[in-house]
Amino acid sequence: MSLPYKIATLLYCFNEQDEILLLERTQEPNRGFWSPCGGKLKMDLGESPYACACREAQEETGIHIDPSNLHLAGLISEHGYQGQTHWLMFLFEVKIRLKTLPPPHAEGRFAFYSRAAIDGLKIPQTDREQIWPWFWHFRGGFFAAHCHCHADGRNDWKLEESRVNKTPAADPNNLPAAPADFF
């Protein structure tokens, strides 16, 4: 299928209670759905995925981070998502813990959710099927996967690489707190 290929980053940000920051999107893709914040790489400028993640963190949440504050948690390729495009997504866990909720902006409004609460949210089908389960399972490690999205709504998934972390990143005491002036 000949479709444009887009490259994006997703930021998995947590507060000090290990709740995840999600954005209820007001724009496509996934308008009306809850997802991690992030955005598309500026490919015409040669932007790296890490630089994109840092820029998006600043633009969407108002926080300033650098690449050392990021952990590459996953890499997802989606073939024919919604019949409109192919995606290559870099999933980053932000190592610094947020102290407050970012204000709403043009992309949507933010809220913190516990891991269990995500099941009750309106989230994209691909996130529900595999991305969230794999993110939690390999948290602190790494996974790479491919999804072939079919026109009938069916998705075929292939886990292409994975590593489980030896020290659990899920422990809120394992990651540094944000500096006092962070929020």
What band does 38 get if pLDDT is binned at 50, 70 and 90?
A: very high
* Span 16-35, pLDDT tens digits: 999 999 999 998 888 999 99
Its pTM stands at 0.88
Give the per-residue pLDDT at 181.
42
SS (H, E, C) the chain: CCCCEEEEEEEECEECCCCEEEEEECCCCCCCCEECEEEECCHHHCCCHHHHHHHHHHHHHCCCCCHHHEEEEEEEEEEEECCCEEEEEEEEEECCEECCCCCCECCEEEEEECCHHHHHCCCCHHHHHHHHHHHHHCCCCEEEEEEEECCCCCEEEEEEEEECCCCCCCCHHHCCECCCCCC
Contact 21, 61 (CB under 8 A): yes
Find, among 41, 11, 34, 130, the residue nearest to 78 by Cα.
130
Q: Which CATH class is domain 5-168?
A: alpha beta
125-165 pLDDT, tens digit per residue, is 999 999 999 999 999 999 999 999 999 999 999 999 999 98
The C-alpha atoms of residue 140 and residue 164 are separated, in whole angstroms, by 7
CB 138 within 8 A of CB 162: yes
Instruction: List, for residues 68-118, the tens digit of each pLDDT value.
Output: 999 999 999 999 887 788 999 999 999 999 999 999 888 999 999 999 999
Angstrom CA distances, 174 to 12, 67, 85, 167, stand at 16, 18, 37, 8
Delimit the domains of the chain by residue range.
Answer: 5-168
